[in-house]
Every structure is written in C-alpha cells, then in structure tokens.
C-alpha cells in the first residue's frame, strides 16, 4: 500500500502533541503580581520551546523520510504507531521538566527522563528507516544504496546523542538542556538528501514506485 494514510494520520498526531505542549503553561492565579508571576514561569517557557522544536524537528525528518519511503507494510505501520505513541507522550516529560526547574529540585532526574524519552524516540525513527531501507524493500528507485546508508547514519546520531545527553543530565542538567537545543538545530537544518528527494516528487520513476505499491 502507499504511504498516504500513514502520513495523514501521523501529521494529525504530531499536530495534537505539539499543541498540547502549551497547556503546561498555567495562567497565573488571581490576586498575585502578574508581572512577577509571568517571569516566574520561565521554566515552562523554556520547556515549551525545547519540546516544540523537538516535535517540529521529528516531524520534518519524518516528512523527509517519507519522501524516500514510497510503500508501507504491516511492520512499518506498527513501528510508526509506536513512534507516534511516544510523540503523543512528550507533553508529559515536558511538564515534568518544567515543574522540576520551577521547584528547583530533581532537575537532574527530570532532564535525564526527558533525554531518555528522546533516546527511545530516536531508536524508533532509526528502526523505521533501517527496516524500510533493508534490501531497498520500501524505498523508491530514485534513492541510491549509498544515500540510504548516509541517511541511516544521520538518523543513528539521534539516539546515541540523546542517550549521552541523558547521562550528562544526571550531572549537569543545564548543559543537557543546551545539548537538547543543539540537537534540534542539527536535525532541523535542511538536509541535502531530503531536498534532493523533493525534486523527485514529479519524477516518473517515483510516481511509478507509488503506483506499484497500491
């Protein structure tokens, strides 16, 4: 089958998860100094920005992945559902992270927990690509084996880097937050391999791949 329904369902989950992040930012209670209370919410703002960028980055790379994956099967659908389960869960570790920095306690545990969730997400993203690319089973013919391996190496950086960052968080949580942001910047930056795939959308070869998957 083609990827249309998988991509549409995934986009919906991404959109809901990224919207739910703002619910963690609570309106200051009445009869308080509004200005001071708004400033006091800075951990929530920071956690919101980090997670918004993180989910946006995952969505961009998910989209890039499916510029190359032109067919899906049951196994890939299952891997994608498990990935989406973790994406939908992200507002919770985001709230935990913000609350820990609000209280000024357990920042290490909260940041490590946050990094751990991203590590597992990275494992599922990499697993999806490795499964689809194995033997070129679900990829379009426009993508060479060399580029497929290059993309796999790029995806593999994620879970390794997040696992290291989760360990760093147990020692220096502030450094871990900075590393989370840098990782998002690394992955959100446009990839030449993803951009080149976009140029194949109108390619007859790509179109034929999709039609054969129906």
Q: What is the pLDDT of residues 40-90, one digit of tens each?
A: 899 999 999 999 999 999 999 899 899 999 999 999 999 999 999 999 999
Look at the block and give the residue holding tokens 């179109």: 207
Q: What is the pLDDT of residues 108-145, one digit of tens each?
A: 999 999 999 999 999 999 999 999 999 999 999 888 99
Question: Longest Cα pair distance anywhere in the chain, in angstroms?
Answer: 65
Sequence ranges of the domains in the chain = 4-193
Residue 157 neighbours by CB under 8 Å, 6+ apart = 186
HSE, side-chain direction, 13 A CA sphere, residue 76:
25
pTM over 0.85: no
Question: Could you tell me if 126 and 83 are in contact, meaning their C-beta atoms sit under 8 angstroms apart?
Answer: no
Q: How confident is the model at residue 209 (pLDDT cuts 50, 70, 90)?
A: very low
Q: What is the pLDDT of residues 163-176, one digit of tens each?
A: 999 999 999 999 99
Q: How far is CA 165 from CA 17, 62, 86, 116, in A?
A: 23, 22, 18, 9
Please give the residue that has the higher pLDDT: either 195 or 106: 106
């Amino acid at each position: 089958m083609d990827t249309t329904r998988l991509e549409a369902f995934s986009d919906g989950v991404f959109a809901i998860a990224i919207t739910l992040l703002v619910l963690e930012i609570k309106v200051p209670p009445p009869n308080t100094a509004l200005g001071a209370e708004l400033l006091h919410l800075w951990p929530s703002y920071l956690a919101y920005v980090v997670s918004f960028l993180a989910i946006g980055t995952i969505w961009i790379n998910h989209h890039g992945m499916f510029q190359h994956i032109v067919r899906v099967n049951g196994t890939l659908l299952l891997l994608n559902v498990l990935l989406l389960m973790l994406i939908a869960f992200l507002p919770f570790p985001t709230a935990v992270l913000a609350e820990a920095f609000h209280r000024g306690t357990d920042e290490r545990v909260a940041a490590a927990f946050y990094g751990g969730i991203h590590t597992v997400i990275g494992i599922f993203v990499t697993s999806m690509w490795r499964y689809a690319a194995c033997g070129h089973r679900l990829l379009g013919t426009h993508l060479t084996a060399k580029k497929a391996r290059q993309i796999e190496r790029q995806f593999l950086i994620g879970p390794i880097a997040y696992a290291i960052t989760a360990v760093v968080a147990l020692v220096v949580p502030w450094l871990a937050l900075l590393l989370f942001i840098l990782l998002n910047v690394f992955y959100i930056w446009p990839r030449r391999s993803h951009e080149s795939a976009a140029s194949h959308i109108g390619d007859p070869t790509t179109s034929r791949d999709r039609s054969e998957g129906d």
